[in-house]
Amino acid sequence: MTPSSGRMMGKVLWSEMFPYEIKQKIKECPVVYLPLGICEPHGQISAFGLDTIKAEWLCTMAASRVGGVVAPSQSYHIHETGYHARWLEDVIGETNPHMTSMPPHVVLHFFLYQLRAFVNSGFKAIIVISGHSGGNQVDLRRAAELFMQISPVRIWVVSDPELVAGQYIGDHAGKYEISQLKYLRPDLVNLPLHLFEQEAGSGGKFAVGVDAHDATTLEGEQIMHACLETVCRKAEELNREVAHLPLLSRLTYSPIETLWQSLLAQKEEWITSNPHTDQKPVSEMSQWKTYENFRI
């Protein structure tokens, strides 16, 4: 089967399955998809949940075409800390961003337990698609690599711009992302030009990209389907790779806590804990200053 064949697999959401259904799904294709996103500003012109919406679409469509099960979405993600702090001062300032942000140690610790839940449920391959990118996915990969040292499970962590590297350039609430949302949920995009202007008490442009007005539904369709083709190819590849694996050993809490201590020992290297070397320091009076050099 090729990713573009369009064969549909029926029910794919874990939350909607009966026990006999998930057992059959895992038998046919032991791949689980985890959509990751966040609620964060994408300008005055679009909905907060853009990142989650595109991750959910990719996971659901890939499972429908290739097989496997879509896990419940996680719409809480790493933000505020490290390199995020300077960016937030620049594009949000001192207004309320209305974000579902979490510090890295909370997300990464929980992520290890999510991986455990998947292995214990019988999955042998895990695809993690993050609609929220910029570097967070690197720390998630660090956790995944540690996890694969204690289990033969295959884990692939990727952000959606990485799926189309060389074809499209990702952005934040610019032509790339707003096109995606216009295709997926046109009802959640509102593009009157006055919403690009600074408005008293509104938070100004609220992190909108400078070229958001160039977004089109066609561009969004092309981006999303190019992303989907990559996910489907990887899902098929992983399904073939794990076909020979016996049922994986169930894991208790103890090895996860041991992994967590190993990951904590690397905390100075976490991408999400530190500013980029070329970033200006956050202003002393900014609400984001306290998170700039994050330490547990």
Tens-of-pLDDT digits for all 296 residues of the chain?
A: 333 344 566 899 999 999 999 999 999 999 999 999 999 999 999 999 999 999 999 999 999 999 999 999 999 999 999 999 999 999 999 999 999 999 999 999 999 999 999 999 999 999 999 999 999 999 999 999 999 999 999 999 999 999 999 999 999 999 999 999 999 999 999 877 565 555 544 456 799 999 999 999 999 999 999 999 999 999 999 999 999 999 999 999 999 999 999 999 999 999 999 999 999 999 999 999 999 999 88
4: buried, middle or exposed (CB in 10 Å: 19+, 13-18, 0-12)?
A: exposed
Contact 292, 82 (CB under 8 A): yes
What DSSP line would sit under 156-192, residue for residue?
EEEEHHHHTTTT----SSSHHHHHHHHHH-GGGB---
Identify which of 160, 62, 122 has the alpha carbon closest to the alpha carbon of residue 247. Answer: 122
Every domain of the chain and the residues it spans: 10-173+226-275
pLDDT at site 195: 56
- 146: part of which helix (H) or strand (E)? helix 136-147
Residue 101, SS3 per DSSP = strand
CATH class of the domain at 10-173+226-275: alpha beta
Supply the pTM of this predicted model.
Answer: 0.94
